[in-house]
Amino acid sequence: MADYRMDADHPGVAATRGVQNVLGKPLDRIDGVAKVTGTAPYGYERRVEGDIAYGFAITAPAAKGAVRNIDTDAARALPGVIDIIVDDPRIARQAAAFAPAATGNDRIDHWDQVIGVAVAETFEAARAAARAVVVDIAVEEGRYDTLAGRNDASPPPKDSRLQDRTIGDFDGAMADGEITLDQSYSTPNHVHAAMEPHASIARWDDGALTVWSSLQILSNARNILAQAFDLPHDKVRVISPYIGGGFGGKGGIGPETVLAVIAAQKLGRPVKIAMTRQQLFHNVYRRTDTHQRLRLAADAEGRLTALGHDSLLSQGPDGGFMEPVALGSLGLYGAPARRFTHRVVTLDMVMAGAVRAPGEAVGMLALESAMDEMAEKVGLDPIEFRKRNEPEVDPTTGKPFSSRRFIECLETGAERFGWDRREATPGMRREGEWLIGMGVAGAFRINLLVTGKARVQLMPDGTATVETDMTDIGTGTYTVTAQVAGEALGLPVEQVKVALGDTAFPPGSGSGGSFGAAATASSVALACEDIVAELAKRMDADPADMTLKDGHAIAGNRRVPFSELVGSAPIEGLGTIEQGRNAETYSQAAYGAQFAEVAVNAVTGEVRVRRMLGVFDAGRILNYKTAHSQAIGGMIWGIGYALHEDAVLDKRTGQFVNHDLGEYHIPAHADVPPLDVLFLEEPDLHANPVGVKGLGELSISGAGAAVTNAIYNACGVRVRDFPLTLDKII
């Protein structure tokens, strides 16, 4: 068994030797045809054995109160209705959370809370029944305003990585700073807005539960279900081979998963449920609103002497997650005096959780806006200002960087983007009604490694299969997995069969936190090393003297096809990658530089992003095409955070008033200009055996700030409350 714990640097696995020359190549997705032809079965579409029934969630029309009565008579009388289930104590108040608390449905603590399920012979009948249920709630006054609650805000829990940190004499450095900045920035609630809504099918067979769903991390889902339904792990199977986006919202299970399991158990039939878009806004954890204070002090040469980042956040009554807003500020710029705090206000809202680059996505909007403002104050070009504050070691922990090419990202990007054409003074470039500006921002995302396992088999026919419960949330996992195995075993990707998304396979990392590619590529590559060793034995050769190419093992003057070497039973490899002391030894992050050019209409305040460039230092790139797709996707999110996304909270009732994609705006095609992406590739073998670093969330980080800094450069208006809608700019 090939196991590796990153206690020391890895020399690089066989897959990185590059003999086969498929690793890194911009191959099309191997699952692409199945997806675009509708033959890839997503959770809700799965045809399962049994007489399936349809469920529809019943939700509460209030944000806080006691449930006085639930009248189901009218609903039960409708045609096709099988059952209305509102009294099962396992219908969790926090069904949206990673781990639902089985607290029953007598209390309401967030708007549209799931309190039951209507089950019928058709989807339409279930929906009609759910809407015919009359819920009587004694509505109580709730807390819906983060700023109003700031005096009662709580510090992070004791063991949190977000403990307050003060390094040096921060207050003194601010007081003595030759040039200082003290500004507040805010970001609103955000939702995941995955294209595929949360949807699940549940079926019970002799006390064993199978769930088909759309989930990011199947071991999480299995643990939650085993606990909630008091089952041993081997009685729970979760299947999720295709996922139409997750973005953090599918990291645990969805409320509909709980409902489907309960209904299927009670009725003895498989039950399928999809959440509606409107229900998702209030029943899947949101990204908290943030209220951030950035304080910077610098000397006359533009060297930072102090950097402070204080954040006020919100959370639901039962939530544990805290948005790590300052992650980027901890590690990006040097400044001897530093201060970071997070405080959280409890609101009567659905819990806040992980949404698309938790921490950096919103933290870097503020930090990189502040850096742009400070560059102007100290009279330096924003790139030069950043270069002067490049630390030699992690500025908060003092640890060496595992790899860091931040300055190179800035310089390479400046050259490619034509930064020298930028006017230092705002408002200098004009084309008719349009003011043109350019902006830059740094990008930073912590790099994580979580445990992942994979099984690889070299089959008697000479092809390979890979199995892991890792998921592909649209990122290209199937394809890069095939590339890693193909590279390691000397097989073209067509001869590698990849099976993902089923807890019957060895547990992978799942998708989240941009850690999926590192764990999956590493575990697959390690598993292949087992196979390589066995092939070498059968070839009677030293593995180092053997080459695998086009399905053959080559040693000396012998070239033997795998089918001949394997025999009747597959050769199996099992690979496990684990984080070890390297997490402590090195400061591990991915870096980048984001550039934007915008046009701001001088009459209306309308913003058009004209072009963007992202230059990323994300370690080894496993597939240039899927990596490029990740990067432009992240940059589009940056546009969304800067200009569009805003879940508007009605502070009287606690509901998001724009709870659909018609009114919660995300960038449309017309909002997205040509996006240019460049990777400064360098494997980071301090991080994992394949040397990849997280990319998806890196590409979000800083992208929004590049846009807002460009807006300032265009028109001289600095907006600090996101999103930057035209009413704020004009």
Contact footprint for ligand MOS (CB under 6 A):
216, 246-248, 251, 354-356, 358, 512-513
Which is nearer to ligand MOS, 448 or 577 (by Cβ)? 448
User: In whole angstroms, how close is the CB of 355 to ligand MOS at the nearest point?
Assistant: 5
Which tokens hold the place of 456?
A: 């690889």
CA pair distance 211, 284, nearest whole angstrom = 19
The residue among 232, 434, 363, 420 whose CA lies nearest residue 705 is 363
CA pair distance 594, 361, nearest whole angstrom = 13
Which is nearer to ligand MOS, 181 or 354 (by Cβ)? 354
User: In whole angstroms, how close is the CB of 264 to ligand MOS at the nearest point?
Assistant: 27
Which is nearer to ligand MOS, 216 or 288 (by Cβ)? 216
Neighbours of 301 (CB within 10 A): 9
Helices (H) and strands (E) in the chain, counts: 18, 30
Which tokens hold the place of 632?
A: 């432009």
Q: Tell me how far CA of residue 267 lies from CA of 54, 119, 131, 550, in angstroms.
A: 11, 9, 21, 53
In contact, 704 and 593? CB cutoff 8 Å: no
Neighbours of 642 (CB within 10 A): 30
Helix axes 516-539, 477-489, angle to 10 degrees: 20
Q: What is the dihedral of CA 31, 32, 35, 38, to 10 degrees?
A: -110
User: In whole angstroms, how close is the CB of 321 to ligand MOS at the nearest point?
Assistant: 10
Confirm whether 697 is a catalytic residue.
yes
CA pair distance 275, 267, nearest whole angstrom = 20
Which tokens hold the place of 49?
A: 């054995």
Q: Is the dihedral of CA 667, 669, 672, 675 positive or negative?
A: positive
Q: Residue 175: is it exposed, middle or buried by C-beta count within 10 angstroms (0-12/13-18/19+)?
A: exposed
Q: Is residue 342 classed as helix, strand or coil in its secondary structure?
A: strand
User: In whole angstroms, how close is the CB of 507 to ligand MOS at the nearest point?
Assistant: 17
User: In whole angstroms, how close is the CB of 251 to ligand MOS at the nearest point?
Assistant: 6
Which is nearer to ligand MOS, 478 or 712 (by Cβ)? 478
Q: Tell me how far CA of residue 498 lies from CA of 243, 468, 553, in angstroms.
A: 16, 9, 22
Which is nearer to ligand MOS, 120 or 355 (by Cβ)? 355
User: In whole angstroms, how close is the CB of 694 to ligand MOS at the nearest point?
Assistant: 9
Which is nearer to ligand MOS, 448 or 705 (by Cβ)? 448
Any residues with CB less than 8 A from the CB of 376 and at least 6 apart, and which? none
CA pair distance 138, 695, nearest whole angstrom = 47
3-state SS of 181-209? Answer: EEEEEEECEECCCCCCCCEEEEEEECCEE
User: In whole angstroms, how close is the CB of 505 to ligand MOS at the nearest point?
Assistant: 20
Q: Tell me how far CA of residue 445 lies from CA of 274, 514, 616, in angstroms.
A: 33, 9, 11
Which is nearer to ligand MOS, 243 or 259 (by Cβ)? 243
CA pair distance 57, 273, nearest whole angstrom = 8
Which is nearer to ligand MOS, 331 or 353 (by Cβ)? 353
Which is nearer to ligand MOS, 216 or 709 (by Cβ)? 216
Which is nearer to ligand MOS, 215 or 367 (by Cβ)? 215
User: In whole angstroms, how close is the CB of 535 to ligand MOS at the nearest point?
Assistant: 37
Q: Tell me how far CA of residue 714 lies from CA of 440, 605, 722, in angstroms.
A: 13, 11, 18
User: In whole angstroms, how close is the CB of 450 to ligand MOS at the nearest point?
Assistant: 11
CA pair distance 478, 475, nearest whole angstrom = 9
Which tokens hold the place of 530?
A: 């087992």
User: In whole angstroms, how close is the CB of 445 to ligand MOS at the nearest point?
Assistant: 10
User: In whole angstroms, how close is the CB of 217 to ligand MOS at the nearest point?
Assistant: 8
Which is nearer to ligand MOS, 85 or 354 (by Cβ)? 354
* Per-residue DSSP letter, 147: G
The residue among 345, 415, 385, 351 whose CA lies nearest residue 595 is 415
3-state SS of 434-460? Answer: EEEEEEEEEEEEECCCCCEEEEEEECC
The residue with its CB nearest to ligand MOS is 248
**Residues annotated catalytic, as ranges:** 697
